Amino acid sequence: MISTIVFFVTIAFTSGRPIDAQTVSELIAQGDALHNQFDTYGAFKAYKAASILDSTNFDVLWKMAGELIDMGNELPKSNDQAAKYREAEVISRKAIYLNPNHTKGHVMLALALEKTALGYTGTDRVKTLNQSRIAAEKAIEINAEEDLALSLLGRWNREMTNTAWITRTFSKLFVVSTPPATYEKAADQFAKAIAINHNCISHYLELGKTLVLLEKWTEADEAFQKVMDLQVTQKSDSKWQRVAKHYLQLLQQGNHSELVDSIEE
């Protein structure tokens, strides 16, 4: 009888170890697996548990920040969404403090700041976008092959070019100095990102959107078609393919004005 009890107790502990009995490396591996399965909340839970065991683990922190950004992306524009991005910013800054010479902390900070900025208007938007640009540039300074940082710089150029002239001028005079931004620079940054990572769906989508604003319709069509042809590898990729499909329909209809308006929103 006693041996039977021991057998079942042993099975209980070895077949499904409770999360607080797992090591940091095991929890990171679990989080990575859940991330690859597009389980954002499950991955965050695993990374969070790892951070409780080791609050100074750089990999845990930047990965937590990434999941928080993904969580925010899934939410409608709201206080809850903004809170996810702010938390991601705080965690990214801690990661940078622990390891300032690694790109991932700077990339996550740039992403979090960009997402926060898009919820702002006027000079607050410009100021926060500029902070995002600086973080992305730092990542590229560390590693020139950081394609996500290049894409972020491309988006910065496009967003700043879209920003009203009066807002840009006021911001330069009274808030923050920013370098000149153009759609051409944005397209160049996206092309560089694609050259490094030619399987990234979002790079092609962002390039296509920029080519639309440059009124390069044929090239934009090719970029959006590439979005449709590539294999989904990130949770957001299916969403980007739906967006690209809509853009392609507008292009095929010759409805350029509606296409431009939808991209500038």
Answer yes or no: is 2 within a domain.
no
Identity at 140, one-letter amino acid code: I
pLDDT (mean) for 67-74: 96
pLDDT at 121: 87
Q: Both 252 and 236 in a single domain? A: yes
Q: Both 184 and 208 in a single domain? A: no
Answer yes or no: is 3 within a domain.
no
Are the CB atoms for 134 and 92 separated by under 8 Å? no
Answer yes or no: is 4 within a domain.
no
Q: Both 106 and 236 in a single domain? A: no
**Count of beta carbons in the 10 Å neighbourhood of residue 125:** 19
pTM, to two decimals: 0.87
Give me the domain span that covers residue 259.
201-265
Answer yes or no: is 127 within a domain.
yes
Number of domains in the chain: 2
pLDDT (mean) for 114-126: 91
To the nearest 10°, the Cα dihedral for 53, 58, 64, 70? -170
- Among 3-7, 57-61, 113-117, 246-250, which stretch is predicted with the lowest mean pLDDT? 3-7
pLDDT (mean) for 220-229: 98
Say yes or no to pLDDT of 15 above 80: no
Q: Both 50 and 148 in a single domain? A: yes
